[in-house]
Amino acid sequence: MTLTTRTIAAPVVPTSGALRPLGIDEVRITGGFWHDRQQVNGEATLAHIEHWLEKEGWLANFDRVAAGSTDTEGRRGREFSDSEIYKYLEAVAWEIGRVGDSVPSAELETRFRAVVDRVAAAQDADGYLNTRFGHAGQQPRWSELEWGHELYCLGHLFQAAVARERTAPGADDGLLGIARRAADLIVDAFGADGIQSFCGHPEVEVGLAELGRVTGDRSYLELSALFVERRGHQTLKDIEFGRAYFQDDIPVRDATVLRGHAVRANYLAAGAVDIAVENSDAGLVDALKKQWQRTVDRRTYVTGGQGSHHQDEAFGEDWELPSDRAYSETCAGIASIMFSWRLLLEGNDARYADLIERTLFNVVATSPSAAGTAFFYANTLHQRTPGEAGSPDEISPRALSSVRAPWFEVSCCPPNVARTFASLAAYVATVDGSGLQLHQFAPATIDTVLGDGRRIAVEVETDYPRSGRVVVRVVEAPVDEMSLSLRVPSWAAGATLLVGGSSREVAPGYATETRVFSAGDVIELNLPMRARFTRPDSRIDAIRGSVAVERGPEVFALESSGMEGLGSNEEEFSRIEIDDRVQPAETGRVGEADAGARLTVSLRVVPEPTEGWPYAPELRASEDADEDAATFTAELLPYHSWGNRGTSTMRIWLPTVGA
């Protein structure tokens, strides 16, 4: 399919592929779970991020470079802090596009331009842009590719410029020019005759690919391809974590699974899909699909989270998925969505949209607090100790996960969540020559043209995930035949599609209705939302004999702060097991902020063992242990809303009685 050249207000716009993405002006989320989060993001999170960028001096770093400061001690933040400013700009660009002509949009526009001006002032005459390298008193440019993150930061700059150009084409703020000057510089510096290396942290690959798409400049795509192909030949210096950490162990097209640092691995894979699609490189696409599949089958948590090593923020081996050491960085979840989304556009396969949904609900939605001003960086599946709440005025260590923190020394996750929420409508639906595909469920209006130019407009009504009923009402349709396809998630066996008064069962994948539609026609998808027990593959031995409870796309968790009496203290909580012969019962709903069901399950506390050496042929219960064996009921809550009631212990996987 060949795309029209008109601007599509979406983060990823390939020039070919099975599906065309829709812009945030073509799909508007109008209510429900994700709209709530978009509103909080726009009203609270963006200002919160800007406050911290200023407070920590990361924005002022640009002013220092602009002023020609040679005081190297005065620079604040880590070597990659520039990237947070660019992610913030990207988020604001999408948000301005999302809210359209409005008072908040005008205020955001002023803030956006003020930050762009400070960035512009720090750019060198030849296009170089970085506050940590390349100026008087600093290390030279490109002198530390393993850890310097200069190209990584530029990748985020490029994505910000792309977001701006696609939501405000031709705007005179100068951001696209800043990005192009920087991109032209690195085409010279790292092109075919340039430095034969690449950045330790992938990201510039996706940034360059998209900048190439938005400007039509092939040299950016070609440099992106060079960066992808150079990787994997042991070019970067070896480091304590090994070269797999930055994917310089095996060439991208030869790898069989994602490995090393989970954010790096996914950003690289996303960029590799981009250049594979642009170069019609079927072999590379196929290799990436296989890597995606094995990673999902063997290295991904039930939440969709990825990365089980704290030490190097990395994937573990196959099946190495311990709940209490889950790192599952928020950014890794977002990066995984970026990878999956590109594969979905390329090949139109519901598996990719399934993982996106799982990760959105159970990683991305988990990170921010209900108020949008505190975040999880890591997303453990099992919190053993409540820990202590930090101060709302202080930065926090990045994996202190019982409570969300306002900001981190490494604060990649908050602006990553912000840009994802602001652009989320672009991940809801797509079109091709024959119809419209609905991948994610939210109340929305969709008004677009099919790949062949015919107009289609629909309204989606649903209170998903509270219920599994999704109604698509046709507002305007072509005069001839077209298809409407609705994703049926892999967990939704027994789903039905109601069209024109007749209902039929539809299998997981896409339920497609093809015919001549008229305004007022309605298609209704009904997904079974019964709570269900989920059991792990026995090879994930850390959780063998346990069950998780899921309902629709949401994973549920047991949190001590919602419990009273038996099982609520830390010690008893560690001895809880679940009676999985008793089905979870839905007990009610909670307010908008939590937006989820409560499920009652039957629990027991294992009799307290005697103190001492904890291994024996047969462990004895202590003498006053009898009363502990009583069963009781407790409520589970959606995992994404845990940690909003103060410090707590929490677990997703519950050992079954007698396991």
Binding site for Zn ion (CB under 5 A): 331, 412-413
Q: Of 331 and 605, which has the nearer Cβ to Zn ion?
A: 331
* Residue whose CB is less far from Zn ion, 412 or 605: 412
Rank residues 80 and 133 by Cβ distance to Zn ion and give the closer one.
80
Shortest distance (Å) from residue 417 CB to Zn ion: 9
Rounded (10°) CA dihedral 370, 374, 380, 383: -80
Ramachandran bin of 63, using left for φ above 0, alpha for ψ from -120 to 50, beta for the remaining angles? alpha
Closer residue to Zn ion (CB): 24 or 412 = 412
**Distance of closest approach, residue 335 Cβ to Zn ion, in angstroms:** 9
CB of 414 to Zn ion, least distance (A): 8
Which residue number is nearest to Zn ion in terms of Cβ?
A: 331
Residues in contact with 100: Cβ distance below 8 Å, sequence separation at least 6, in sequence order: none
User: In angstroms, what is the minimal distance from the CB of 307 to Zn ion?
Assistant: 10
Report the residue number, 204 or 412, with the smaller CB distance to Zn ion.
412
Cis preceding-peptide flag for 553 (omega within 30 of 0): no
Q: Treating both helix axes as pointing N-terminal to C-terminal, what angle do 175-190 and 103-121 enclose, rounded to 10 degrees? A: 40
Helix (H, G, I), strand (E, B) or coil at 380: coil
Alpha-carbon Rg for the chain in angstroms: 25
DSSP state of 302: T
Q: Which two tokens stand for residue 659?
A: 């396991």
Residues 655 and 495: their CA atoms lie apart, in Å, by 30
Q: Measured from the CB atom, is 98 or 398 closer to Zn ion?
A: 398
Q: Which is nearer to Zn ion, 410 or 457 (CB)?
A: 410
d(CA 273, CA 284) in angstroms, rounded, equals 8
Nearer to Zn ion, 375 or 427 (CB): 375
The answer to whether 532 and 555 are in contact (CB under 8 A) is no
Q: In this structure, are residues 546 and 653 in contact, taking their beta carbons and an 8 Å threshold?
A: yes
- Report whether 198 contacts 145 (CB < 8 A): yes
Of 376 and 556, which has the nearer Cβ to Zn ion?
376
CB 253 within 8 A of CB 230: no
Q: Taking the complex as a whole, how short is the minimal distance between the CB of residue 371 and Zn ion, in angstroms?
A: 20
What does 535-602 look like in DSSP terms, one character per residue?
A: ---TT-GGGTTEEEEEETTEEEEEEGGG--STT-SHHHHTTEEE-TTSPPEEEEE--TTT--EEEEEE
Say if residues 580 and 555 touch (Cβ distance below 8 Å). Answer: no
DSSP label of 30: -
Task: Kindly state the smallest distance separating residue 416's Cβ from Zn ion, in Å.
Answer: 6
CA distances from 193 to 190, 223, 515 (A): 7, 11, 55
Taking the C-alpha atoms of residue 122 and residue 85, their distance in angstroms, rounded to an integer, is 13
CA dihedral (357, 362, 368, 369) positive or negative: positive
Of 324 and 409, nearer to Zn ion (C-beta) is 409
Distance, in Å, from the CA atom of 442 to the CA atom of 452, rounded to the nearest integer, reads 26
The minimum distance between CB 189 and Zn ion, in angstroms, equals 27
- For 217-261, where are the alpha helices, taking DSSP H only? 218-230
* Angle ∠(337,202,372) on CA atoms, nearest 5: 45
d(CA 235, CA 178): 29
Shorter beta-carbon distance to Zn ion: residue 367 or 526: 367
CB of 410 vs Zn ion, minimal distance in Å: 7
Residue 196: CB atoms within 10 Å? 11
482-488 and 435-438 as β-strands: parallel, antiparallel, unpaired? parallel
Measured from the CB of residue 640, what is the shortest distance to Zn ion in angstroms?
Answer: 17
Nearer to Zn ion, 175 or 412 (CB): 412
- In this complex, which beta carbon is closest to Zn ion, that of residue 413 or of residue 474? 413
SS3 549: strand
Strand partners, 600: 585, 635
Contact 64, 119 (CB under 8 A): no
Of 25 and 84, CB closest to Zn ion: 84
C-alpha distance from residue 206 to each of 16, 52, 628 (Å): 16, 26, 55
What are the strands of the beta sheet with 429-431, ordered from one edge? 20-21, 429-431, 435-438, 482-488, 509-515
Distance CA(484)–CA(500), nearest Å, equals: 14
413/529 with CB nearer Zn ion: 413
Distance, C-alpha 500 to centroid of its chain: 37
Cβ 309 to Zn ion shortest distance, Å: 15
CB nearer Zn ion, residue 331 or residue 470:
331
The DSSP output letter for 384 is -
